[in-house]
Structure 1
Amino acid sequence: MATNGGGAGGLNGGGDGDASAPPPLHVVMFPWLAFGHLIPFLELAKRLAARGHAVVTFLSTPRNVSRMAPLPPELSAYIRIVSLQLPVVDGLPDGAESTADVPPEKVELLKKAFDGLAAPFATFLADACADGDREGAGGGGPDPFSRKPDWVVVDFANGWVPPIADQHQVPCANFSIFSAAGLAFFGPKAAHDAYPRTEPEDFMSPPPWIPPPSTLAFRRHEAVWIAAPYRPNASGLSDAGRVWQVQQRCEVTIYRSCPEVEGQLCHLLEGLYNKPVVPAGLLLPSDDGDDGAGADDLIRWLDDQPARSVVYVALGTEAPLTATNVRELALGLELADARFLWALRRQSGGGDAGELLPEGYEERVAGRGVVETGWVPQVRVLAHAAVGAFLTHCGWGSTVESLRFGLPLVMLPFITDQGLIARAMADRGLGVEVARDDDGSFGRDGVAAAVRRVMAEEGGKVFAHNARELQVALGDGARQGRYVDELAKRLRRRSLS
């Protein structure tokens, strides 16, 4: 076990310098081993610390810790990072500590390795609680990390945490990094028991607990993928079982959204889950950290383009893109005759992404299209005045980043709740999906048609208007901060009872 960070002298529970305010909560946060989870967990930790509500002990594994962006200097004393050594599992590649390190078929083994962190976590928590007991018995030290943890905030995969925390009378909260649409559609175990869903067809219509009218459902090719997590995998548990295990043992569910974006779905959740379900806001990162080599060249290229003329294309690092997908997307962008900047990133376990492009492609689109296979500073790109739309896989983090800058969406969802997010955003008039066949395949004509609808046709003005209206609502930083304040009040209420 390794740690960094230090004491947080002067931090108080109200963030206003009031010496009579209660001490900050000590919150332990333990995300799943994927950067799509690590980043929002760390962002929540930063918000709680920056607003004076908590000091945070953040748990992960050594390699993941080494790849995380440095903490802002003003928060480094209030957030400490603790590394737990991931055990070796047969079949898992050496050094694999996140989903970015393994192909999709190996993620089940990563979950098995993750389960092996139960014993190191138990040791960590026992030590932390013993330190807190000594502090409460008269140690009186100035280090707030020496206090017994007030809460452990866990992800979907570590259902073994709540039983360990119960032994030390530390309550647990579940932080879902997914949208309100995902939480509402999948529902708690009680809803599943009342209306069992096991086959793909069961996920192709809205569940009965979501009031009509609603388009919240999966397409056939998505439903086949979604049904699989309800079956046990190589880790010995189904993903759905992991989710239910965590939800049933946690007193509070926290989720990354707000009513400004998802409206009635947010208001549905507490009654559905029969427990506090608290929005944390969108937890939008302030910047990309280190832009990396080549970022300035990309920004200079954008500087030379007309306002709102460029489609930014990024499908994340874990979308299961095939060579055919890349080729049809490339040819569709060419056919649409729009300017574009494409972050074509290496897929998990894959090779050089640039080799998948059609022969002579970059020469043909030179001047109006850039394909970047290295690092792209996504926040800086989305914020640039030349960018007029975002062609996205509809991962929740990417989607809310785009809405923050008032960009309409061209949507190409692949896995998890991305299809639900695409339906919800289409219902809000924020963009269109690329047309797909029942098997999930798509072609260049569908890509070109969707890009034109958002960028070039008269209807695109409506999408842009709706996106800018939502940008105004999300630009209220004070309102987003209040979601974190209200969450802290909920957590403090339990810790003082």
Structure 2
Amino acid sequence: MGSKFHAFMYPIFGFGHMIPYLHLANKLAEKGHKVTFLVPTKAQKQLQPLNRFPSSILFETLTLPHVDGLPDGAETTSDLPDSSKELLSNAMDLLRDQIEAKVRALKPDLIFFDFVDSIPEMAKKLGVKCVSYQIVSAACIAMFLAPGAELGFPPPGYPSSKVALRGHDANLYSHFTSTRQILFDRVTKALMNCDIVAIRTCAEIEGKLCDFIERQCQRKVLLTGPMLPELQDRSSKQLEDRWNHWLNGFEPGSVVFCAFGTHCFLEKDQFQELCLGMELTGLPFLLAVMPPRGSSTIQEALPEGFEERVKGRGVVSREWVEQPLILSHPSVGCFVNHCGFGSMWESLLSDCRIVFVPLLADQVLTTRLLTEELEVSVKIQREDSGWFSKESLRDAVKSVMDKDSEIGKLVKRNHKKLKETLVSPGLLCGYADKFVEALENEVNNTNSS
């Protein structure tokens, strides 16, 4: 067994990053290691319930300094519009003196980080190893390291012309237009100057892309696997009686379940098009989404006459539902989702046909990987506006649900084969164990040299 170590964690202050970092911290603590987690003050309350080892994982709160344009009290990406997120990174850059003082005082062995690209220089000066831990897909990281790939023109050595932004999908990157290059530069600098690159993925899905990243960074890439705690205890939970009873009323494999996560807020016209598309499938469906922007309830935003037309076969709910338990119900046959990291894994580990509606850049690239490279899913066809029509949603769902569909047969066959690999005993949890072991060896080698 390797040396027990002390790790600092300093992710960008967004819950989509801090929560995966905390999942990793729990794994390190489970193996007997100590973690100091750097967080903004208000975020600690929300993260604390996810801390499974409070005696080993200690939160150190930081107060962001003033940066022109950053609203008073803003601490995380959820406090800011997309166009202002670079301001948060700028404020985090200014925390360097505070963090350096904490490193000198607490003497960690490792520092995990993602966007604050000054960490490698500081860590080297203080004799600490730094780990660039990226929680987005390897497809997204590979694109950062491959100039031109984001334009659909991958360079020599890039493993797939299919996993690149192009056409209407490239338009989804428009919210990054002003800060995209700065974001790329930050991540690229972090990857090229760190001691260890780590990515939350597995070789069975993104092996070729991980190999490309190794070549570009000229250092070993360590993989943690999905690092989702809910994958460990699926069998111990039961679906709510309400949903179980409703789903029991339909034929096996006939229900379409659609969910976009709790942080996705559609415009009202997009929300209505989504509802109408589900109606057009003619299939029973459960749509679990947040109310659209400008609406306080789901009901007030529904298309006129919609509830009456789908009564008995369609439900639209804003209630939080246990996705894995819904997906494991025998009546559910199709999962429509945004290809967020958790939903992507739940898709792959289910027996459902998969339809992806990516909403952000990393989701676009992961969708391309799973749809065009691995051929385990289909994706929605977008309109010139960048959104999709009710007809395109209907067509995508029917393409995987119709028994005589050739694409449906193909993705079902490929999905089944990939799932059998992923659920093989010890595979996914083995990634996390091997990752921790590699870190132990790294620290042990450093201490003995």
TM-score bracket for this pair, using the shorter chain length:
0.7 to 0.9
Q: CA deviation at 1:478?
A: 1.6
Task: Give the aligned residue type for 2:139.
Answer: A
Give the corresponding residue for 1:435: 381
Find the partner of 1:159 among 117, 127, 146: 117
**What does the per-residue CA deviation read over 1:310-367, in whole Å, with 9 as the maximum and x for residues that have no partner?**
22212235557333221211111100112222221257x8653624331232333232
Provide the secondary structure at the position in 2 that maps to 1:270: helix
Selected match of 1:63 from 36, 42, 45: 42
CA contact 2:171–2:386 (8 Å) conserved in 1: no
Pair 1:72–1:168, CA change in 2 (3 A): closer
Please name the residue that 1:313 is paired with.
258
SS in 2 for 1:471: helix
After TM superposition, give the deviation of residue 288 of structure 1 in Å: 11
Q: Choose from 337, 345, 348 the match for 2:282.
A: 337
What are the Cα deviations for residues 438-469 of structure 1, in whole angstroms up to 9, with x where unaligned?
44132111000001112234333442333233
Q: CA deviation at 1:405?
A: 2.2
The residue that corresponds to 1:220 in the other structure is 167
Structure 1 runs of 4+ aligned residues shifted over 4 Å read 88-95, 227-233, 317-320
Among 126, 130, 136, the alignment partner of 1:172 is: 130
CA distance in 1, matches of 2:297, 2:162: 34
How many residue pairs align between the two structures? Answer: 436
> Equivalent residue for 2:227?
283
2:105 aligns with one of 127, 132, 140: 127
Cα distance change, pair 429–40 in 1 and its aligned pair in 2 (3 A) = same
Q: Would the alpha carbon gap of residues 366 and 38 (structure 1) be closer, same or farther in structure 2, given more than 3 Å must change?
A: farther
Alignment of 1:264 onto 2:211: no
Contact 1:406 1:470 (8 Å CA) reproduced: no
* Aligned residues of 1:53 and 1:488 also touching (Cα < 8 A): no
Task: State the identity %.
Answer: 35
1:49 aligns with 2:8: no
- Partner-residue secondary structure (3-state), 1:68: helix
Which of the numbers 370, 377, 380 marks the counterpart of 2:315?
Answer: 370
When the two structures are superposed, what TM-score results if normalisation uses the length of structure 2?
0.86
Other structure's SS at 1:286 match: helix
Matched, 1:24 2:9: no
Counterpart in 2 of 1:110?
A: 88
Q: Which moved more, 1:311-320 or 1:161-170?
A: 311-320
Instruction: State how far apart, in whole Å, the 1-side matches of 2:179 and 2:343 are.
Output: 29
| Cα displacement (A) at 1:224 | 4.1
> Against the structure 1 CA distance between its residues 227 and 72, is the aligned structure 2 distance closer, same or farther, given a 3 Å change threshold?
closer
User: Are the aligned partners of 1:26 and 1:56 in contact in 2 as well (CA < 8 Å)?
Assistant: yes
1:454 aligns with 2:434: no
Cα distance change of structure 1 residues 179 and 53 upon mapping to structure 2, 3 Å threshold: farther
Maintained 8 Å contact 2:169/2:364 = yes
State the Cα RMSD in Å. 3.0
Cα separation, partners in 2 of 1:128 and 1:422, compared to 1, 3 Å: same
In 1, Cα distance between equivalents of 2:224 and 2:385: 36
Distance in 2 of aligned mates of 1:287 and 1:202: 32
Measure, in 1, the Cα distance between the counterparts of 2:387 and 2:248: 35
Give 2:418's aligned residue. 470
> Alpha-carbon deviation of 1:91?
4.6
Structure 1 residue 255 corresponds to structure 2 residue 199: yes
Residue 445 of structure 1 pairs with residue 406 of structure 2: no
In structure 2, what residue type is equivalent to 1:429? E
Change (3 A) 1:314 1:101: farther
Unaligned 5+ segments in structure 2 are 234-238
- Matched letter for residue 66 of structure 1: K
Contact 1:307 1:387 in 2 (8 A): yes
CA contact (8 A) 2:38 2:59 kept: yes
Sort the Cα spacing of 1:172 and 1:296 in 2 relative to 1 into closer, same or farther, 3 A: farther
1:113–1:173 distance in 2 versus 1, CA, 3 Å: same
Please point out which of 346, 356, 365 is paired with 1:411: 356
Letter matched to residue 17 of structure 2:
H
C-alpha change, 1:184 and 1:241, in structure 2 (3 Å) is: closer
The 8 Å contact of residues 184 and 269 in structure 1, kept in 2 or not, is answered as yes
What runs of 5+ residues in structure 1 fail to find an aligned partner?
1-13, 15-21, 130-148
What's the CA shift string for 1:31-80, capped at 9, x where partnerless? 22222222221222222332x2632222222322211262465x333322
Shift of 1:128: 1.0
- Taking a change above 3 Å as real, the CA distance of residues 422 and 163 of structure 1, as seen in their structure-2 partners, is same
1:477 shift after superposition: 4.8
2:76–2:88 contact (8 Å) kept in structure 1:
yes
Change (3 A) 1:30 1:350: farther
3-state SS, counterpart of residue 216 of structure 1: coil
Contact 1:282 1:480 in 2 (8 A): yes
SS in 1 for 2:215: helix
More divergent stretch after superposition (108-117 vs 242-251): 108-117
Q: Could you state the TM-score of these two structures normalised by the residue count of structure 1?
A: 0.79
Which of 359, 374, 377 matches 2:304?
Answer: 359
Match of 2:270 among 311, 321, 325: 325
